[in-house]
Amino acid sequence: MTASQAPLVVVGDALLDHDLCGRAERLAPDAPVPVVHGTRRSSRPGGAALAACLAAADGRPVTLVTALGADAASDTLRELLAGRVGLVEVPLEGSLSSKTRVLAGDRPLLRLDDGEGRAREATQEAVSTIAAAGGVLVADYGRGTADVLRDALTHTAAVIVWDPHVRGRPPVPGVRLATPSAQEARAFARQLDDAEPGDAAGLRTAARDARALVRAWRAQAVAVTLGERGALLSHGETPLLVPTPAAATGDPCGAGDRFAAAAAGLLADGALTEAAVQAAVHAATRYVAEGGARAVAVPEQPEGAEEAPGDGDTTADAVRTAARVRAAGGTVVAAGGCFDLLHAGHVALLQAARRAGDCLIVCVNSDDSVRRRKGDGRPLVPAADRVRVLRALECVDAVAVFDEDTPERILGELRPHIWAKGGDYARTRLPEQPLVESWGGQVLLLPYLDGRSTTGLARRAALSPAPTGGDPR
User: Is 257 among the residues known to form the active site?
Assistant: yes
- Say how many CA atoms lie within 13 Å of 125 toward its Cβ: 11
Cis peptide before 379 (omega within 30 of 0): yes
Three-state DSSP state, 376: coil
| List of E strands, 396-460 | 398-402, 418-422, 442-446
Q: What is the largest CA-CA distance in the chain?
A: 100
Phi (first) and psi of residue 368, to 5 degrees: -65, -40
- Do residues 203 and 233 lie in contact, with contact meaning Cβ atoms separated by under 8 Å? no
Contact 96, 71 (CB under 8 A): yes
Single out the residue of 168, 136, 140, 182 nearest to residue 155, CA to CA: 136
Question: How far is it, in rounded angstroms, from Cα 401 to Cα 396?
Answer: 14
How many other CB atoms sit within 10 Å of the CB of residue 135?
24
Q: Which residue in 284, 327, 329 sits closest to 80, CA to CA?
A: 327
Of the candidates 19, 106, 257, 367, the residue annotated as catalytic is 257
From 152, 154, 175, select the one nearest 222 (Cα to Cα).
Answer: 175
Spatial distance between the Cα atoms of 240 and 271, rounded to a whole number of angstroms? 17
Q: How would you list the strands of the sheet with 222-225, edge to edge?
A: 118-119, 86-93, 62-68, 8-12, 135-139, 159-163, 177-178, 222-225, 231-234, 240-242
Instruction: Residue 171: name the closest of 196, 193, 149 by CA.
Output: 149
The per-residue b/e assignment along 180-197, b for 16 or more CB within 10 angstroms, e otherwise, is: bbbebbbbbbeeeeebee
Cα–Cα distance between 231 and 279 in angstroms, integer? 11
Query: Which strands form 332-337's sheet, in the order they lie side by side?
Result: 398-402, 359-365, 332-337, 418-422, 442-446
Distances (CA, A) of 389 to 41, 115, 310: 28, 46, 9
Separation between Cα atoms, residue 137 and residue 134, nearest integer Å = 10
- Rounded distance between C-alpha atoms, residue 432 and residue 444, angstroms: 12
Q: What's the rounded Cα separation, in Å, for the pair 295 and 251?
A: 11
Residue numbers annotated as active site: 257
